[in-house]
A = this chain, B = another copy of it.
Amino acid sequence: MTLAEIYRKYRPEILRLERRMEQQLLAEEQTLKKASVHIMKAGGKRIRPVFVLLSAQFGPSKTAEEVERVAVPLEMIHMASLVHDDVIDNADLRRGKATIKERWDNRTAMYTGDYLFARAIEIASSSSYPDVHEILSMAMREMCVGEIEQLRDQFQLDQNLRTYLRRIKRKTALLISVSCELGALVSGGDERTRRALRRYGYFAGMAFQVTDDILDFVGSEKQLGKPAGSDLIQGNITYPALYAMEHNPEFYDSVKHYMLKPEVYPLPISQAVEAVKQSGAVEASKKLAASYVKKAHEALDELDQNEASASLREIASYIGNRQF
Contact = CB atoms under 8 A, between A and B. Distances in A.
Nearest to A133: B125
The secondary structure that dominates the A interface is helix
Given A107-B151, A117-B114, A144 B32 contact: yes
A252 interface: no
Nearest to A73: B137
A177 B279 CA distance: 61
A54 interface: no
A195 to B, nearest CB: 20
Of A110, A119, A140, A147, most buried by chain B (CB within 10 Å of CB) is A110
Given A125-B133, A125-B134, A148 B117 contact: no
B152 A140 contact: no
B144 A114 contact: yes
Interface string A139-182: 01101110111011000000000000000000000000000000
| A interface residue count range (under 10 / 10 to 19 / 20 to 34 / 35 or more) | 35 or more
B32 A148 contact: yes
A82 to B, nearest CB: 13
A61 interface: no
A121 B133 contact: yes
A137 B122 contact: yes
A112 B122 CA distance: 21
Contacts of A96: none
A144 B122 contact: no
A25 B143 CA distance: 15
A134 B122 contact: yes
Contacts of A112: 148
A126 interface: yes
Nearest to A115: B144
Contacts of A136: 121
A321 interface: no
A7 interface: no
Nearest to A104: B151
Contacts of A31: 148, 151-152
A318 interface: no
A138 interface: yes
Interface string A88-128: 10000000000000000011101111110111011011100
B140 A118 contact: yes
A128 to B, nearest CB: 10
Contact of A148 (B87, B115, B138, B143): B115
A130 B133 CA distance: 10
Closest 8 CB pairs of A and B: A118-B140, A122-B137, A115-B144, A125-B133, A118-B141, A121-B137, A125-B134, A114-B144
Given A108-B151, A118-B140, 9 more contacts: A29-B152, A111-B144, A111-B147, A113-B114, A114-B114, A115-B141, A115-B148, A118-B143, A121-B121
Interface of A: 28-32, 84, 87-88, 106-108, 110-115, 117-119, 121-122, 124-126, 130, 133-134, 136-138, 140-141, 143-145, 147-149, 151-152
